[in-house]
Amino acid sequence: MQSIYDFTLEELKEKLKPSFRAKQVYNWLYKKYASSFEEMKNLPKDLIEELKQNYTIDVMQIIKKEKSIDGSIKYLFRLHDGVTVEAVLLLMKKKKIAEDGTIERSEKYTVCISSQVGCKVGCSFCLTAKGGFVRNLTVGEYIAQIVNIKRDNEIPENKSLNIVYMGMGEPLDNYNNFVKAVKIFSELDGLAISRRRQTVSTSGISTKIEKLGKEDLGIQLAISLHAVDDELRSELIPMNKAYNIKTIIDAVRKFPIDTRKKVMFEYLVIKDKNDDIKSADNLVKLLNGINAKVNLIYFNPYPGTTYQRPESKDMVKFQEYLLSKGLLCTIRESKGLDISAACGQLKEKEANGST
């Protein structure tokens, strides 16, 4: 049965008559986080029956979650066919309350969502890759990750958040469903998550980056670079043999970016692999002329990996070198280190029966 989350508002207007009913359904789904059609009290009974017969809301269930001391929550969802995917709610800034009890600043959230069950890319450092590729997520499964997390945390419908497509799988390998999900997320009558607040992270399918650029969706682009030479990058990301660094950089240069924003280059730092100053210098040269920001990411070890977490002092040296050359660089604060932080780790624990 098809998910009700699969439809844009305009598509739902074509399905439901009179068409204003579609907006009512959208309000229940995305403003009130309804989990059943019976909750939609202002709809006539015959329409509720029609919806129940043709569509489903319940496309995934939360089967496990782990909460970190930093406020991050990692979710494991079971889908209708029994497979599982992860998503993470990241508390970026905590609520700030003034002395008189008024709220000076509300919480700021980012949600990291998955695109596939498993992954085709096969990155050597990624736990998700170990299970191989199973299938793409549907449009509705993209949407349901956000709705379930907002419902579970009672996040108000008017509370904006950021979406990063950085979970399990390669978004551009699920191109059509990903693009449609971006559009549904941004529907003003729905979740109303601005496209500027949505960032797609890709391991570098250069032809799809160019195609996405032509869509001109207004979303932000992040490149999982992780290395500055093709030899190391092909070790870390085998797909680099098909889409090497030059083709990726060429595609990025053509990508339309909001002038207020920068292209994010994610650089996973692995001890004794890519954490030296020579690599930093080559990174500066590689990104010359691009309005870029580099996000240095600590490698999160998981059982069975041969890669190691870098030393903090080496991360700082790397960052300081980039900054000294005029390249904006941040070190991503590692969140959820006390829980299953690595992508795919909670899924693996559940599969192995660990607690």
Known binding residues for [4Fe-4S] cluster: 119, 123, 126
Q: What gap in Å lies between CA 336 and CA 333, rounded to an integer? A: 10
Question: Which residue of the set 66, 86, 266, 348 is catalytic?
Answer: 86
Q: What gap in Å lies between CA 196 and CA 119, rounded to an integer? A: 26
Helices (runs of H) and strands (runs of E) counted in the chain: 11, 16
Q: What gap in Å lies between CA 284 and CA 332, rounded to an integer? A: 19
Q: Longest Cα pair distance anywhere in the chain, in angstroms? A: 68
SS3 label, residue 231: helix
**The residue to which tokens 């050597």 are assigned:** 124
Q: What are phi and psi of 83, to 5 degrees?
A: -80, 165
Amino acid at 228: V
| 329 flagged as catalytic | no
Start-to-end CA span in the chain (Å): 33
Annotated binding residues for S-adenosyl-L-methionine, as ranges? 169-170, 201, 224-226, 300
Question: Which residue of the set 112, 141, 343, 348 is catalytic?
Answer: 343
| 107 flagged as catalytic | no
List, in sequence order, every residue forming a beta bridge with 86; answer none if it has no partner: 76
Q: Which residues are catalytic?
A: 86, 343
